[in-house]
Structure 1
Amino acid sequence: MPWAVLVLWVAVLALAAMPFAGKLGDVQQDRAVDYLPDGADSTQVARIQDSLPGGEATEVVLVYQRAAGLTGADRAAAQRQVTEIASAHELTGGAPKGVASKDGTTLMVPVASNEPGTDEEAKSAFVEDIREKAGGGDGLSVEVGGPGALQADMGEVFESIDGTLMIATALVVTVLLILTYRSPFLWLIPLIGVAAAALSSRALVYGLVQGFDLTVTSQGAGIMTVLVFGAGTDYALLIVARYREELRRIERPYDAMRAALRGCGPAVLASSGTVAAGLLCLLAADLNSSSGLGPVGAVGVVCALAAMMTLLPAVLVLLGRRVFWPLIPAYGSQPKARRSLFAVMGSSAGRRPVAILVSGGVLLGALALGAFNLPGNLSQEDSFTSKPESVAAMETLAEAYPERSSQPITVLAPTGRADEALATARSTEGVVGAEPGRNGDGWTEIAVFANDAPETAGERSTIERLRAELDDNGAYVGGPSAQQIDLEDTNARDRAIVIPLVLAAILLILVALLRSLVAPLLLVVAVVAVWGAVTGLGGLLFEPVFGFAGVDPSMALLSFVFLVALGVDYGIFLMHRMREEALSGAEPRTAALTALRTTGGVIASAGIVLAATFMVLMTLPLVMLRELGFLIAVGVLLDTFLVRTYLVTSAAMLLRRKVWWPGPLSRAPRPDGEPHREPRVPEPAGRGK
C-alpha cells in the first residue's frame, strides 16, 4: 500500500503537476479591474473602456521640472522628446500638448495610447519605452507618472512575488524543521510533501482558470504558496509527533501509522476543513480579488491535506524507524520523563484559572483599543514600501498644480446624452474642466478634472456629486480615485456578509468534530478576540513605527478570514486531544492538562512555522502584503502562546464537563464508575517489523 501511494504521487507530479504548475504565472491577472468590485461603477467604466475604439487606454504623464524655472532649452528638449514618442507610438488625441505650472517650474504632458490594449506586458513595455525616451539632466528632472506608469510599477513588483515567496518560504520552513526535529533526514520528508502539494495546487489552479475562467491575481497565488507551506507543515508536525508516539506502543511502522492517522486524522481533517470553508466563504465577496482568493486558497489547503495524509505517511512507513535517527523511538520504550514548558504552563493555569482568564481577557481588550488608532485607507500612491518613479511624479504634480487635479475622473455617458452629461459635469461643484474623448459602442468618454488633488476628501466629494448629478443620464463615473471609493464601500459590504458566513461554517465543522456546542463557541470567541487584539496592535504600530500611511480596505476581511480559520486549527488540535482523554475516562482537569502537555510542543512548533511563513510576506515591497503578513504572524503567535495555552485551557478547567455540553461527555460518570464512552475502534495488533 505505501508503495502504491508513492507511485501514484510520482505519476501525478510527473504527468500533471510539473508540466502545468509553471503555467500558472502566464494566466495570472493583475489589471486594475481584477482587484475591483464586480458590480461597482468604476468597474463598469473599466470594462466599457475596453470596447471603445482602440480598446483600453494606457495613460501616463511626463513631468518636466527645474527648481529655478524651466528655460527655453528645457521646453525645446521636452518638445523633441514628446515628438519622438508620438512618432514611435499611436497616441490618442494627436500630438500631446504640455500644461505649464503657474510658477513656471513644471511642465505636465499627458500621453495616452490604446496601442498596448489589455496586455499587461505591452503596457509595461510602452511605459518603459517612454521612460527611455524622456530624459533630463543638468538640473532638469523628468519623471513619468499617471495611472499607466503606476500600474507598470505595480506589475514589476507582482512579477517578483511568486519566485521570491517560493524560495523564501521554503528556506524558512527548512530551517525550522531542522531545528524542530534535530535529525539529518527527518526534516526532508515533510518538505518533500509540502513541495508536492505546492506543485499540485498550482497545476490544479491553472486547470480551474482554463476550465472555469477563474480570476487569479499574483497576490492570490502568492498567498496560496504561503498557505500551502504553512498549513502543510503544520499538518506534518502533528502527524509525525503522533506517529512517533505510536511507534513506542506498536511494533510495526505500518500499524503505528494507521493508529496515528486514526488518532489525529479527524483533527487534521477538521483543521483543513475550517480553513478551506472559511476561504470559500470569500466567494460571497463582491471584490474580484477577494472572491478569486477564496477557491485559490482552498485548493492550496486541500492539496496540502492530501499530501500530508497520503504521501507523507507512505514515505515515513517505507523508511521505517530509522528516519528518526539519532532519536529513534524504540518499541516499548518510554520518552524521557521531564517537566515540559507546557506542563508548567498548564499547572499555572490550573492553580489560578479565574485570574489567568480575567487578566488575559483584559490584555486582549486593551490591545484591541489600538484599532481606534489605525491610519485611514491606503491610497494607490502609498501602496509601495519604497517610492517608485510613478509615485514621485504624482507628488511633484500635486505640489506644482495645487489648483487642479493631475489625474482625470473618467465619465462614460450614453452617446445620445453625451452633450448633456458634459454640460452637467462642467457645472458640478468642484470640477475645473471636462473634455469629451472617445466614442464607440454607444458610449462617449469624458475626462473630468477636479479642483482637488487625487484621493483627497475634496476630490471624493466631487466624485460623489458627479455620480448624483449624472445618475439620471445613465452615466458611470470611474477612474483611479473612483475605484478607491468603490473599494472602500464594497469592502464594508463584503465584511457584513462574509464574516458571519465564516463564523457559521467554522462553528458547524467544530460542532461535528467535538460533538458539543460550548467547546466550539469557546474556540471561536478565542480566535475572534485574537483578531481584535492584533488589529489593535496594528493600529499602534503601522503608522507610528512602520511608517505605513494607510491600511488596505480589504485588510479587515482578509485578516479575519485567515486568523479565525487558521487560529481555530490549534484549538482543534488541543480540544480533540482533550476529548480523547475524556473519552478514556480522565477527569476534566486531568484531560485538559494531558492534552496541553502532549500537544503543546507540536502546537508551538506549528505556530512558529505558520507565523514564520506569513512573516515572509513582510519582505515584499507592497504595504498591503506587509500588513497582512504582520497581522497573521503576530496573531498566530498570540493565539499559540497565550490564548490557546492559557486562556482556552483555563476556561476548559473552569467549565469542567460543561465544556462538552450537550454531548454525553458533559454528563457525570455512571453509577458503576464508568464514563459515558463513545464507540472506539480497537488498536491494530500486528507483529513483526
Structure 2
Amino acid sequence: QLQQSMSAMTEAAAYLQTVGRDASSPAASGFYLPTTILNNPTFETAATMFITPDGHTAMYLVQSSLNPYSLQAMSLSQQMQQVGRDATPNTALAGSTVSVGGFPAINSDLRTAFNRDFTEIIIATLLIIAIVMCLLLRSVVAPLYLLGTVILTYLAAIGLGVLVFQQLLGQEISWAIPAMTFTLVVAVGADYNMLFISRLREESVRGTRIGLIRTVHHTGSVITSAGLVFAAAVMGMMAGSLLQMAQMGFIIGCGILLDTFVVRTLMVPAIAQAFGDASWWPSGRK
C-alpha cells in the first residue's frame, strides 16, 4: 500500500512539475489532471486537505523564492489576491471569494492598517505637543518653529537610517519603523527644546541676544548630557539580533543626537534670534 501511495503521489508530482515548467506558455493556461489520478484513493485522501467536504472551498499552496517578511512578498500577496478576483467574473466561480493567507498577507494587512493610523498618530502627537507648548509658554509663535525643527530632526534621522541600512548595508527599513520612531523622536526633541526655550524666556528680560548667551551657558551641559545618555541607551538596541530593533535604536539615537548637537545648539538659538520678541506673541516675554 505504501508503494502504491508513493507511486501515485510521484506520478501526480511529476505531472504538476511539467505543468509548472510550461506555465508561461499561453497554450498551457489552466491545467488538467488525468482520470487515473483523480480516481486514485491516495490522491483523494490528500485532496481532502485542500478541498472542504462540501466542495465549495479550495486551498492552493503558493511558494516563492522571496523573503516572506519582505515588502516584495507583501506586494506579491496583494497581486495574487487581485489576480484571483479578476479571474472569477464570467466563469462558474463568479461571485466567489478569493483570499490570501500566510505571513506576507498578514503583514500586508498590518502595514495597511498601520499606514492608515500613522497619519492619525502624527496629527494627534503634534497637536497635543503644540497645545502643551502654547499653554506653558503663553505663546503661539515659538511652539510653531520648535515643532518645525523637531519634525526636521525626525526626517533627518529617517534619512540616515535609509542611508545606512538600505544604501550601505542593503537591508530594507521595516515598514513599521517610521511610526514606531516618530513619537519618541518628536516627544524627546520637543521636551529638550521646551526646556531650552523656557529658560530663554526667563533670561530674555534684557534682550534676546543676552538671553540666548545665558541660556546656552546654563542649559548646555545639562541637556547635552541628557541627550547623550538617552541616545546611548536606545542605541544599545543595535546589539540585539532583531533587525527591526537595531533599526529603531539607530534612528531614535540619531534623532536625539541631531536634536542635542544641531537643533538645540544651533537651529533653535538662530531662529529665536531671528524672531526676537515676536517669539513670545501674543503674551510678550514678561
Report the TM range for the smaller structure's normalisation: 0.7 to 0.9
Gapped runs of 5+ residues in structure 2?
3-8, 15-19, 22-28, 32-45
Aligned to 1:631, what secondary structure does the other structure show?
helix
Q: Which residue of 1 aligns with 2:227?
A: 607
* Aligned mates of 2:209, 2:148 — CA distance in 1: 21
Aligned to 2:172, what secondary structure does the other structure show?
coil
Tell me, yes or no, if the aligned pair for 1:436 and 1:447 is still in contact at 8 Å: no
Q: Which residue of 1 aligns with 2:191?
A: 569
TM-score, with length taken from structure 1? 0.32
Aligned to 2:109, what secondary structure does the other structure show?
helix
Q: Which amino acid counterpart does residue 496 of structure 1 have in structure 2?
A: T
Tell me, yes or no, if the aligned pair for 2:81 and 2:98 is still in contact at 8 Å: no
* Aligned mates of 1:647, 1:494 — CA distance in 2: 31
Identity %: 30
Q: Does 1:487 align with 2:89?
A: no
Q: Which residue of 2 aligns with 1:652?
A: 272
Instruction: Label 1:101 to 1:613 Cα distance change in 2 as closer, same or farther (>3 A).
Output: farther
Instruction: Label 1:447 to 1:636 Cα distance change in 2 as closer, same or farther (>3 A).
Output: same
Q: Which amino acid counterpart does residue 134 of structure 2 have in structure 1?
A: V
* Aligned mates of 2:11, 2:132 — CA distance in 1: 62
* Aligned mates of 1:533, 1:623 — CA distance in 2: 20
Which of 513, 529, 543 pairs up with 2:136?
513
Cα offset, 1:435, TM superposition: 5.8
Q: How does 1:473-484 map to 2 (within 5 A)?
A: 473=96, 476-484=99-107
Q: Which residue of 2 aligns with 1:464?
A: 82
Tell me, yes or no, if the aligned pair for 1:435 and 1:446 is still in contact at 8 Å: no
Query: CA offsets per residue over residues 220-247 of structure 1, 9 Å max, x none?
Result: xxxxxxxxxxxxxxxxxxxxxxxxxxxx
Task: Let me know the Cα RMSD of the aligned residues.
Answer: 3.3
Q: Does 1:628 align with 2:263?
A: no
Aligned length: 240
* Aligned mates of 1:496, 1:662 — CA distance in 2: 30
Tell me, yes or no, if the aligned pair for 1:617 and 1:629 is still in contact at 8 Å: yes
Cα offset, 1:98, TM superposition: 9.2
Q: When you count strand as a share of all residues, which structure comes out higher?
A: 1
Aligned to 1:542, what secondary structure does the other structure show?
helix
Q: Which residue of 2 aligns with 1:450?
A: 62
Q: Which amino acid counterpart does residue 450 of structure 1 have in structure 2?
A: V
Instruction: Label 1:437 to 1:609 Cα distance change in 2 as closer, same or farther (>3 A).
Output: same
* Aligned mates of 2:10, 2:115 — CA distance in 1: 40
Q: When you count helix as a share of all residues, which structure comes out higher?
A: 2
Aligned to 2:115, what secondary structure does the other structure show?
helix
Q: Which residue of 1 aligns with 2:153?
A: 530
* Aligned mates of 1:528, 1:461 — CA distance in 2: 34
Q: Which amino acid counterpart does residue 277 of structure 2 have in structure 1?
A: R
Aligned to 2:132, what secondary structure does the other structure show?
helix
Query: CA offsets per residue over residues 545-604 of structure 1, 9 Å max, x none?
Result: 3x352121111111111111111111011011112223xx23111112211110110000
Q: Which amino acid counterpart does residue 172 of structure 2 have in structure 1?
A: G
Q: How does 1:579-594 map to 2 (within 5 A)?
A: 579-582=201-204, 585-594=205-214
Instruction: Label 1:438 to 1:651 Cα distance change in 2 as closer, same or farther (>3 A).
Output: same
Q: How does 1:112-131 map to 2 (within 5 A)?
A: none
Query: CA offsets per residue over residues 603-651 of structure 1, 9 Å max, x none?
Result: 0000001101101110110111100000000110011001111110011
Aligned to 2:282, what secondary structure does the other structure show?
coil
Cα offset, 1:490, TM superposition: 2.1
Aligned to 1:664, what secondary structure does the other structure show?
coil
Instruction: Label 1:644 to 1:427 Cα distance change in 2 as closer, same or farther (>3 A).
Output: farther
Q: How does 1:73-84 map to 2 (within 5 A)?
A: none
Tell me, yes or no, if the aligned pair for 1:435 and 1:447 is still in contact at 8 Å: no
Gapped runs of 5+ residues in structure 1?
1-78, 80-96, 103-402, 405-425, 429-433, 666-676, 678-689
